[in-house]
Amino acid sequence: MIYEDYNPMKKKMFQIMNEEGEIIQPQLMPDLGKEELLKMYRLMVQTRETDKKALLYQRQGRMLTYAPNLGQEAAQVGSALSLGKEDWMVPAFRELGAWLARGIEVNMVYLYWYGNEYGSKVPEGIKVLPVSVPIASQLQHAVGIAWASKLQEKDEVVMTYFGDGATSQGDFGEAMNWAGVYQTPTIFFCQNNQFAISVPRGSQTASETIAQKSIAYGMPGIQVDGNDIFAVYVATKEAVKRARNGGGPTLIEAFTYRLGAHTTSDDPTRYRSDQEVEAWKKKDPIDRMKKYLMREGLLTEEEDEKIAQEYINIAEDAFKYVEANGEIELEDIFKYQFKEMTPQLKEQLEEYKEFLRGRGEA
């Protein structure tokens, strides 16, 4: 129903909860109990506290380049919670909330950004692909998994994440076209945070919205308030249901904002104003969810402080583990890139060993 009412060409953004935490469309509010609502909120808070600690560790020189998630917690958590355990998640590199919602532990996240490839080793039973940094390349992987699942008649849906900048890549068009033609159970989830590094969305595409790109590929699309976790959850839940029932792919544009830098190597003050950032801070996804919960009598300030401290402690303990166990043997880079080393990798490993012998280290 919402995909008809919010057809991208109608130029309407789907929203259930406004910036003050007020439910403006109660008839579309998801049927969630207290535990489920608090789980949503706790995951968003955990995402933020984990993110803040990662940024701090990077600035202290204790972690490598990091991609902050500040301001995008609702888009990530709300979408990931719509998936079933049997479904796949194919991320880019700014999906911390989705990783946590899918069961990835904080120490694994930190291991990856620490430079240890074991941070990419997803535990058994969790269907999440490793981080993908090359822009839009993961979209083709997602469609491939979805098509394979469809051919094997598996009850699986694949959700893949990307930013607005990825829609300018050829991989985006190829993946969307393939998914549309073969009606794969794929959900394309665009976190439109308004900037592809320093390039504003307006310079990225002439389309009025990202969501309307769905029409050219023969699939439903919708633009959602990405800072409204209820709207995100409802839109993705409906897309998951349709995909699972053979209805094919969907494009969801979560209209949100990256409050921090693109990565810790970026200086956002060079390409956007403080006034713009301050305006978006008033739309903070965690603040509006907190207002809603407090208005409903489901959360107090004291409980909120305890939740934040709990996740600060978890983040600190996780990084202690990483610093104590995060160093790797350089040989692992050669040994574990593939299940079996290729001839080229074997040759490169021997060259490396010869280099070490020449230095008297082997």
CB 252, CB 188: distance < 8 Å:
yes
What is the C-alpha separation between 212 and 144, in angstroms, rounded?
A: 23
- 217 assigned to active site: no
HEC string for the chain: CHHHHCCHHHCCCECCECCCCCECCHHHCCCCCHHHHHHHHHHHHHHHHHHHHHHHHHHCCCCCCCCCCCCCHHHHHHHHCCCCCCCEEECCCCCHHHHHHCCCCHHHHHHHHHCCHHHHCCCCCCCECCCCCCCCHHHHHHHHHHHHHHHCCCCCCEEEEEEHHHHHCHHHHHHHHHHHHHCCCEEEEEEECCEECCEEHHHCCCCCCCCCHHHHCCCCEEEEECCCHHHHHHHHHHHHHHHHCCCCCEEEEEECCCCCCCCCCCCHHHCCCHHHHHHHHCCCHHHHHHHHHHHCCCCCHHHHHHHHHHHHHHHHHHHHHHHHHCCCCCHHHHHCCCCCCCHHHHHHHHHHHHHHHHCCCC
Of the residues 102, 201, 242, 258, only one is catalytic, namely 258
Of the residues 48, 94, 201, 262, only one is catalytic, namely 262
- 271 assigned to active site: yes
What is the C-alpha separation between 296 and 22, in angstroms, rounded?
A: 10
What is the C-alpha separation between 49 and 60, in angstroms, rounded?
A: 17
What is the C-alpha separation between 133 and 194, in angstroms, rounded?
A: 18
- 141 assigned to active site: no
- Structure tokens of 22? 């007020």
**CB environment 289-302: b (16+ within 10 A), e (fewer):** bbbbbeeeeebeee
What is the C-alpha separation between 246 and 255, in angstroms, rounded?
A: 27
Supply the residues annotated as catalytic: 258, 262, 271
